[in-house]
Amino acid sequence: MKESIPSTEPIGQNLIKLISNLCFSVFVFSVLIFTVIAITYQPPDPWLESAPAITKLFTQSENATFKNDNSILKTGEDLVAASAITPAMAVEPITESVIERSEEKLTNLSVKSSDCEELRIVNCSDPLVLIAVERFNLKVFKSIVFLGYQTPVNGSKSDECDVAWRFRNKKEKSWRKYRDFRRFKFGIGENCTYKVKHASGWHSGINARRPTRVNSTRNGGSPKIVPTIRDDEINDTIPTLGSEMNFMMGRYLYYSRGGDYCKGMNHYLWSFLCGLGEAMYLNRTFVMDLSVCLAGTYSLSNKDEEGKDFRFYFDFEHLKEVASIVEEGEFVRDWKKWDRNHKRKIPVKKVVTYKTTPMQLKKDKSPIIWRQFDAPEPENYWYRVCEGQAAKYIDRPWHALWKSKRLMNIVTEISGQMDWDFDAVHVVRGEKAQNKVLWPHLDADTSPDALLSKLQGLVQPWRNLFVATNEPFYNYFDKLRSQYKVHLLGDYKILWSNTSEWYNETLLLNDGRPVEFDGYMRVAVDTEVLYRAKTRVETFYNLTKDCKDGINTC
């Protein structure tokens, strides 16, 4: 009987099969990983990459929650380039060449006086008086752009005139105009011309100011008379859609309230501008909620406070001019009215997740796109819409958001009372000074002795020194008074007291209820006065070696 020999495959052939199977498995696994990465990868926002300063200020986030420094608050007028002021916005400033042209015209008309004695009693309506004031102002107030003068009027004495003018500060990049009126004392200059001998301080020329408007309010049954000078250039009335046909012809982007409500103001701005940017990208009118919730970090009660008006903080007039917006209350009323009066309801595209991108909505024809933010935090933050691929298409319109003109009037008043000739130091203390883990030296480096020592090498003695700070104790900076004329925001509280223009204007906006000058307003005003200083000393660049965002973050 013959033995059977088992058939066996060569060992080399089995080894080749094993290696090929292993390589195929690695290939399939690699393709799977690459596919997952391709689906989930979100590239960085190229707009943000090109603006690192804005990124650092507004996008320091962790797990989609903002934790950034609120001691400096920037808005569009701080970030826009000066070239953004278009010729249509601008007014020709009063320069030496403009004055010379006016003087030449007067010479040709033979208005010039030939008798010096006639000038001892000043004729305030004489055009040469205004020319003398214009030349004086150009020489003294070099940080100011003068935009137009009113005809001088008589002061309190025969050699005095009161003069009013419009202006803006050279460091302010917006086109907004402000008003000053001062009293000037005149003498006789060369060739029988008027010469300014002395100019009084900010708003001293009371005869040249606008007529006083009197508000009468009741407090405890007795009338309270509050004189005020209203800024007639502010127009922050709420726009209306008008007829039903106008409403139906519109295309709207409507954001429901999300988790951003009652968050910090920088978080609110980052989200609000995302929604406004998407509306611009989609060529739609943005439905805007004017009700703002002030986070407890800014409120005087240290609790979140709802029902604040957007117009307390931001320039609604400017926003209306540069963006298509409609107030939410007006929009909802018109929407309900249409649905009530017509059998055919308005088509609405409801979007329930931020993952539906603006690019996917670009061709949608629905009159209303309604984004709803009902998911738990942080999925319900508005700014999530602008993350990932959307960041390539949505530019946040920073140019549309300026600080309230009412707050800027306070900034101008403070700067004007220091005759625009002051330096400033920004002193960050508060919770940061108490956190020795992240800021080990900040407390000591911003102590009164350390401040005085540091400033002596940076600011000339007896200069006006404005201190922008979150330090709550007013007398903390008393040591600086031995070398400087110290000014704190609290020194100017009359500007938001119940006799102030700001108080009366916000009273009207708030349906007759007084408005508190809260923490956000304080930081906004502090920031803008700081920007107008001739020399600016910063905490984390000049006073301490600690890093702004904590240890090892410089």
Reported as a single tens digit per residue, the pLDDT across 96-106 is 999 989 888 87
Is a pLDDT exceeding 50 seen at residue 469?
yes
**What pLDDT score does 28 carry?**
66
CATH number, domain containing residue 503: 3.40.50
**244 and 348 assigned to the same domain:** yes
CA distance 63 to 44: 16
Domain finish residue from 382, 400, 418: 400
pLDDT tens-digit map of 526-554: 999 999 999 999 999 899 999 998 988 88
496 pLDDT above the threshold of 70 = yes
Which domain-ending residue is among 163, 191, 208? 208
Instruction: Name the residue range of residue 519's domain.
Output: 405-543
Higher model confidence: residue 61 or residue 518?
A: 518
Find the range with the poorest average confidence among 98-112, 425-439, 503-517: 98-112
Radius of gyration for the chain, computed over Cα atoms and rounded to the nearest angstrom: 32
pLDDT at 10: 63
Is the domain of 267 the same as that of 296?
Answer: yes
Mean pLDDT across the chain, nearest whole number? 85
pLDDT at 220: 43
Q: Is 0.75 topped by the overall pTM?
A: yes
- Please report the pLDDT score of residue 235 as a whole number: 85
Give, in order, the Cα–Cα distances in Å from 50 to each of 74, 84, 133, 530: 18, 18, 45, 26
Query: Do 199 and 278 reside in the same domain of the chain?
Result: no
> Does 316 score more than 90 pLDDT?
yes
Task: List, for residues 114-124, the tens digit of each pLDDT value.
Answer: 567 766 788 99
Q: Assess if residue 62 is contained within a domain.
A: no
**Lowest mean pLDDT, pick from 329-343, 383-397, 428-442:** 329-343
Pair 267, 392 in one domain: yes
Same domain, 192 and 275: no
Cβ contacts of 375 within 8 Å, gap of 6 or more: 353
Phi-psi region at 242: left, alpha or beta (left = phi > 0; alpha = psi -120 to 50): left
266 with 162, same domain? no
Is there a domain that residue 313 lies in? yes
Task: Enter the DSSP assignment of 314.
Answer: B
Please tell me whether residues 136 and 155 are part of one structural domain.
yes
Q: Report the pLDDT value the prediction gives residue 162, as an integer from 0 to 100.
A: 97
Query: Do the domain assignments include residue 168?
Result: yes
Question: How many C-beta atoms lie closer than 10 Å to residue 552's C-beta?
Answer: 7
Q: What is the sign of the dihedral through the CA atoms of 510, 516, 520 and 526? A: positive
CA angle 338, 343, 347 (to 5 degrees): 65
Judging by DSSP bridges, how do beta strands 464-469 and 423-427 pair with one another? parallel
Determine the pLDDT at residue 249. Answer: 86
Whether 181 and 324 share a structural domain: no
Residues 411 and 461 in one domain: yes
Mark whether 281 and 383 lie in a shared domain. yes
Q: What is the pLDDT of residues 319-340, one digit of tens each?
A: 999 999 999 999 999 999 988 8
pLDDT of residue 88: 44
pLDDT tens digits, 250-307: 999 999 999 999 999 999 999 999 999 999 999 999 999 999 999 999 999 999 999 9
Across the range 414-442, mean pLDDT stands at 95
Burial 45-77 (b: 16+ CB within 10 A, else e): bebeeebeebeebbeeeeeeebebebbbbbbbb
Which pLDDT value is given to residue 116? 73
Percentage of residues in the chain having pLDDT higher than 70? 80
Q: Summarize pLDDT for 174-214 with one digit per residue, the tens.
A: 888 999 999 999 998 777 888 999 999 999 999 998 765 54
pLDDT greater at residue 19 or residue 235: 235
Has residue 223 been placed in a domain? no
pLDDT in tens, 392-404: 999 999 999 999 9
In a domain, 290, yes or no: yes
Burial class of 449 by CB neighbour count within 10 A (0 to 12, 13 to 18, 19+): exposed
**How far is CA 196 from each of CA 95, 122, 188, 200, 417, rounded to the nearest angstrom?**
18, 11, 8, 11, 20
**Is residue 552 assigned to a domain?**
no
Structural domain ending residue among the three candidates 208, 228, 251: 208
- Same domain, residue pair 117 and 176: yes
Confidence (pLDDT) at 218? 40
Proportion of the chain above pLDDT 90, given as a percent: 65
Residue at 229 is within a domain: no
- Within-domain flag for 235: no
214-256: per-residue pLDDT in tens?
444 444 444 343 444 557 778 888 888 777 777 888 999 999 9
Cis peptide before 378 (omega within 30 of 0): yes
- For 52-80, what is the mean pLDDT? 55
Q: Are residues 180 and 266 located together in one domain of the fold?
A: no
Give the pLDDT confidence score for residue 224 in this predicted structure: 41
Tally the domains of the chain.
3
